[in-house]
């Protein structure tokens, strides 16, 4: 059967997964009476909850006499490593662009990678039915973007489709026809995307996606570069430097057929398949016949920019809510994650009780923490720090990001002020319609940690911020951190509503009444800039005197909810986030007040020196 391999790439929320749903439905993959959900490719629990794609996934449809393998990719910059790997597996790409928002930072990132590997993208202007759609301007912006990314003349001559993925139609004209569904898109893929190029020689395949199956073990997905592979065939795995990792037998070859994976006996060069049966082979390794000696070249991946420490939980409540608490199980879980996620890097500390995990951004690491938490792990997590470097001359470099903020015009002054405090440099300011402006900044990554929630507060929830790693540039200097101190519990027990009520003028609480606390645990945000130890266990003195007004009802202000991402961004260097399957607690690094004072003194001395 004829083959086409394509990826759908776009910025977050531009409609990739919804379009894949429609492609599957209209290609006849489902029975007429089959019950279908939304965003069928987002199979992971966290993907469904957050409404974003985190893992790249493959599917396939048949149109006319051709099988089209489709790879759905994440749109968030933190998961860009998934997209970079996928592009080596396909021969074409559909670049989806929102008809109102136009090309966004992640569009720029993925298109740049696609053009670099020589793909000739098809541009689909999606959500054409939006009331604020401006498709003509967006097409010009896409052309300017391609030109800025040094596209060749062939790549600049891209075909354009207009339509609505949710309503299930695409056409070469913005007006339609709307009654022919996505047939124009299917036909464009057959005409514009070349058939897979097939290499010479025996079986070779580069691993692109790694996953675990409870029955089949490790499953590696990739595109067969050359030759054919059969079930039960003996193969070997070569590392990028040519060293042999293992030899083994392929127990199953799985082909993508709609949403299902079906076992097949033999797979040909050019097809995207998943193979099972090997124990060590992972992403970017070459799976090949026994007589092959040269590995295939894997696409280089951009380096991680943010790191945080995963520490064994040593709080007084350790082990009371989770069952995976030792350094050995935490180490095994992190190494397993780093194996399949090439954008993640794990290093062990000298004391063996903590691990430095580096990734593309806070969201990528927050998703990893959330997954581990659901699996029963207990951890202490440090504040995210940026990965700094030095160049040949010894100059300290830090990661700089391109930040695009869409905001109502009335709040633009506040945003500019807050971004300048974070050492950001504005490079563009233009109206984006409907009394909104679009601002582009170049800002240090460390200044953006924790800014998302502050931005939403400053703009009454109307701002949209998108970020993309730009480059390493000279260190921009110190950035002022959090301005408020914290309220710290001075004893262990359960928080009492009466004590919390009396402490309300000291600051806002982040816990509720009746919650287990311990000495050194953070229970609130102080209204001043210093930390304050408080007694949150103090109950009301009971007497036998009854008087009017003696027994007023205790009315507590609702606490500030600390979500995983908000807590990560809010804590300081001398604080930790304790994560368990049931709770997220904040605590001081040193629980003992005397140790805290010694640490503060030593920090001030080091700072003065």
Distance CA 232, CA 251 (A): 5
CATH homologous superfamily of 204-288 equals Translation factors (2.40.30.10)
pLDDT in the model for residue 426: 92
The whole-number pLDDT of residue 380 equals 93
230 marked ligand binding residue:
no
**pLDDT, average across residues 141-154:** 90
330 labeled part of a ligand binding site: no
- Average pLDDT value for the chain: 85
Does pLDDT of 39 surpass 60? no
Q: What is the pLDDT of residue 300?
A: 72
In this structure, are residues 272 and 56 in contact, taking their beta carbons and an 8 Å threshold? no
Buried b (16+ CB within 10 A) or exposed e, 393-422: eeeeebbbbbbbbbbeeebbeebbeebeeb
313-372 pLDDT, tens per residue? Answer: 999 998 888 888 899 999 999 988 887 777 788 998 887 788 999 988 788 888 899 999
Q: Which of 115, 103, 105, 173 is nearest to 140 (CA)?
A: 103
pLDDT digits (tens, 9 = 90+) for 103-138: 887 788 888 888 888 889 999 999 898 888 888 999
pLDDT at 109: 81
N-term to C-term CA, the chain: 72
Residue 86 assigned as binding residue: no
Q: Say which range, 51-60, 401-410, 588-597, has the weakest mean pLDDT.
A: 51-60
Stronger pLDDT, 425 or 341, i.e. the higher one? 425
Q: Where are the domains of the chain?
A: 2-192, 204-288, 389-474, 486-569+587-608
Q: 116 labelled as ligand-binding?
A: no
Token pair, residue 468, equals 């993309």
User: Above 80 in pLDDT, residue 248?
Assistant: yes
Q: Give the predicted TM-score (pTM) of the model.
A: 0.81
Cβ–Cβ < 8 Å for 235, 203 = yes
Q: What is the pLDDT of residue 597?
A: 87
Is 8 annotated to bind ligand?
A: no
| Interval 206-222 mean pLDDT | 84
The second-level CATH assignment, the architecture, of 389-474 is 2-Layer Sandwich (3.30)
545 annotated as belonging to a binding site for a ligand: no
- Percent of the chain exceeding pLDDT 90 equals 26
Q: What span, in angstroms and rounded, lies between the C-alpha atoms of 133 and 121?
A: 22
The response to whether 13 counts as a known ligand-binding position is yes
pLDDT of residue 265: 92
Q: Over 90: is that where the pLDDT of 168 sits?
A: no
Residue 132, annotated as binding a ligand: no
Quote the pLDDT of residue 545: 65
Q: How confident is the model at residue 162 (pLDDT cuts 50, 70, 90)?
A: very high
178 is in an annotated binding site: no
How many angstroms separate the Cα of 103 from the Cα of each of 108, 161, 388, 452? Answer: 7, 15, 30, 21
Tell whether residue 601 is among the known ligand binding residues. Answer: no
* 458 confidence band (pLDDT: 50, 70, 90): confident
Residue with more model confidence, 234 or 78 = 234
**Distance (Å, whole) CA 242 – CA 265:** 29
CATH class (in words) of the domain with range 2-192: alpha beta
Most confident by average pLDDT, 147-161, 337-351, 550-564, 593-607? 147-161
Give the pLDDT band of residue 606 (cuts 50, 70, 90): low
CA distance 590 to 309: 15
Task: Give the architecture-level CATH label for domain 486-569+587-608.
Answer: Beta Barrel (2.40)
Q: For the segment 494-512, what is each residue's pLDDT rounded down to a tens digit? A: 999 889 988 989 999 999 9
Report CA Rg, the chain: 27
User: Which residues, 6 or more positions from 471, have their beta carbon under 8 angstroms from its beta carbon?
Assistant: 399, 400
Give me the pLDDT at residue 607, please. 60
Q: How many CB atoms lie within 10 A of CB 197?
A: 10
Q: What is the token pair recorded at 602? A: 């030593």
């Amino acid at each position: 059967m004829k083959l086409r391999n394509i990826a759908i790439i776009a910025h977050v929320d531009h409609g990739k997964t919804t379009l894949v749903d429609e492609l599957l439905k209209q290609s006849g993959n489902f029975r007429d009476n089959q019950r279908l959900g939304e965003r069928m490719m987002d199979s992971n629990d966290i993907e469904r909850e957050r409404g974003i794609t985190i893992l790249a996934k493959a599917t396939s449809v048949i149109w006319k006499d051709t099988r089209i393998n489709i790879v759905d990719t994440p749109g968030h910059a933190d998961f860009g490593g998934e997209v970079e790997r996928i592009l080596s597996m396909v021969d074409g790409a559909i670049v989806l662009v929102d008809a109102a928002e136009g090309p966004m930072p992640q569009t720029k990132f993925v298109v740049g990678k696609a053009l670099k590997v020589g793909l000739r993208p098809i541009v689909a202007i999606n959500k054409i039915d939006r009331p604020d759609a401006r498709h003509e301007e967006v097409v010009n912006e896409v052309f300017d973007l391609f030109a800025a990314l040094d596209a060749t003349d062939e790549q600049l001559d891209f075909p354009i489709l207009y339509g609505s993925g949710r309503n299930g139609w695409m056409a070469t004209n913005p007006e339609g026809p709307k009654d022919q569904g996505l047939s124009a898109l299917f036909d464009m893929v057959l005409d514009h995307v070349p058939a897979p190029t097939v290499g010479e020689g025996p079986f070779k395949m580069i691993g692109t996606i790694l996953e675990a199956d409870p029955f089949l073990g490790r499953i590696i997905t990739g595109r067969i570069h050359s030759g054919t592979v059969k079930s039960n065939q003996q193969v070997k795995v070569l590392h990028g430097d040519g060293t042999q990792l293992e030899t083994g037998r392929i127990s199953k070859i799985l082909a993508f057929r709609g949403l299902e994976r079906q076992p097949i006996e033999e797979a040909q060069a050019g097809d995207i398949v998943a193979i099972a049966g090997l124990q060590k082979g992972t992403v970017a390794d070459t799976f090949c016949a026994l007589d092959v000696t040269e590995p295939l070249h894997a696409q280089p991946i951009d380096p991680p920019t943010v790191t945080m420490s995963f520490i064994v939980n040593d709080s007084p409540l350790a082990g009371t809510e989770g069952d995976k608490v030792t350094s050995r199980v935490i180490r095994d879980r992190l190494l397993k994650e780093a194996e399949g996620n090439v954008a993640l890097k794990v290093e062990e500390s000298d004391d063996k009780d903590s691990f430095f995990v580096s990734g593309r951004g806070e969201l990528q690491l927050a998703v990893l923490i959330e997954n581990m938490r659901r699996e029963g792990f207990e951890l202490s997590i440090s504040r995210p720090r940026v990965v700094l470097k030095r160049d040949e001359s010894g100059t300290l470099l830090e990661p700089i990001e391109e930040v695009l903020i869409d905001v109502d015009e009335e709040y633009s002054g506040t945003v500019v002020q807050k971004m300048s405090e974070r050492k950001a440099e504005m490079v563009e300011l233009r109206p984006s319609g409907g009394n909104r402006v679009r601002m582009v900044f170049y800002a240090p990554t460390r200044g953006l940690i924790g800014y998302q929630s502050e931005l939403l507060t400053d703009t009454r929830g109307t701002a949209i911020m998108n970020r993309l790693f730009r480059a390493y540039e000279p260190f921009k200097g110190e950035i002022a951190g959090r301005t408020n101190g914290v309220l710290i519990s001075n004893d262990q027990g359960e928080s009492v509503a009466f004590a919390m009520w009396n402490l309300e003028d000291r600051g806002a609480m982040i816990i509720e009444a009746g919650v287990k606390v311990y000495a050194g645990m953070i229970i609130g945000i102080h209204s001043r800039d210093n930390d304050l130890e408080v007694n949150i266990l103090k109950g009301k003195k009971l007497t036998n005197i009854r008087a009017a007004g003696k027994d007023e009802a205790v009315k507590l202000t609702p606490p500030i909810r600390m979500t995983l991402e908000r807590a990560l961004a809010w804590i300081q260097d001398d604080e930790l986030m304790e994560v368990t399957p049931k709770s997220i607690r904040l605590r001081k690094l040193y629980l003992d007040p005397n140790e805290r004072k010694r640490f503060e003194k030593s920090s001030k001395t080091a700072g003065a020196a």
